[in-house]
Amino acid sequence: MPARISQELYLCVDGGGTSVKVVIASSEGGKVLGRGAAGPCNVKTMGPTGAIAAILQATYQALAQIDGFARYEELTNTSPPPPLDHPVFNKVWLGLAGVLHQADIDDFTPFAQEAFHFGAEDQGALRITNDGHLLASSCTLMPEIESTIVLIAGTGTVGLAFKKRGVELDLVGVSGGWGYILGDEGSAYSIGRLAIRFVLEDDDRRKSLAYSRSALPPTNPLPLVHALLACFGVADAAELVHKTYSDHSTAAARSFTAAEANRKVWIAEAARVVFAHAFGDGVDEASRIAALAIVADGVQPLVKLAAGLVGDRTVINPSRSSLSLGGGLWKVPGYCELLKRGLKELGIVFADVVVVGDAPEEGARALVAQELAGKAMNGNHV
Tens-digit pLDDT profile for residues 111-148:
999 999 998 777 788 999 988 888 888 777 778 889 99
- C-alpha to C-alpha distances, 249 to 49, 116, 245, 374, nearest whole angstrom: 18, 30, 12, 48
320 vs 257, which has greater pLDDT?
320
Q: What is the DSSP string of 309-328?
A: HHTTSSS--GGGEEEEEESG
- At 94 the three-state DSSP class reads strand
Q: What's the mean pLDDT in 218-235?
A: 92
Mean pLDDT of the chain: 87
245 vs 377, which has greater pLDDT?
245
Highest mean pLDDT of the ranges 12-21, 167-176, 253-262, 273-282 = 273-282
Single-letter amino acid code for the residue at 309: L
- Dihedral sign computed on CA atoms, order 323, 129, 55, 59: positive
Q: What's the mean pLDDT in 6-30?
A: 86
Return the CATH number of the domain spanning residue range 9-143+357-380.
Answer: 3.30.420.40
CB atoms within 10 A of CB 308: 13
Residues ≥6 apart with Cβ < 8 Å to 299: 186, 335, 338, 339, 342
CB atoms within 10 A of CB 80: 12
Confidence at 2, pLDDT banded by 50, 70, 90? very low
Q: Where are the alpha helices (DSSP H) in 92-176?
A: 102-115, 132-136
Which architecture does CATH list for 145-350? 2-Layer Sandwich (3.30)
Q: What is the domain partition of the chain in residue ranges? A: 9-143+357-380, 145-350
Confidence at 55, pLDDT banded by 50, 70, 90? very high
Confidence at 164, pLDDT banded by 50, 70, 90? confident
Residue 379's pLDDT is what? 55
Do the domains 9-143+357-380 and 145-350 sit in the same CATH topology, yes or no? yes
Query: What gap in Å lies between CA 132 and CA 174, rounded to an integer?
Result: 10
Confidence at 3, pLDDT banded by 50, 70, 90? very low
Residue 71's pLDDT is what? 86
Query: What gap in Å lies between CA 354 and CA 146, rounded to an integer?
Result: 15
114 phi and psi, to 5 degrees? Answer: -65, -40
